[in-house]
Amino acid sequence: MRLLLFWLFSVLMLAFAFGIVTSRNTVISAMNLVVSFIFLACLFFTLDAFFIGIAQILIYA
């Protein structure tokens, strides 16, 4: 289950990162960046790095 969540969050994070690069609208790019950071924090949670995940959300998102 954890492996499935890891890959799910990884693919979603990469999809939104691709949206950051390809979007022409800066507001859409900023929203994609925030969502990408949230999925990165979820990746940290699946790796049992709870402090880093919470710090990721508090500092960047």
Domain count across the chain:
1
What does the H/E/C string look like for 1-61?
CHHHHHHHHHHHHHHHHHHHHHCCCHHHHHHHHHHHHHHHHHHHHHCCCHHHHHHHHHHHC
pLDDT over threshold 90, residue 61: no
Residue 21 structural domain = 2-60
pLDDT over threshold 90, residue 60: no
Q: What gap in Å lies between CA 32 and CA 18, rounded to an integer?
A: 9
Q: What gap in Å lies between CA 19 and CA 4, rounded to an integer?
A: 23
> pLDDT tens, 11-37?
999 999 999 999 999 999 999 999 999
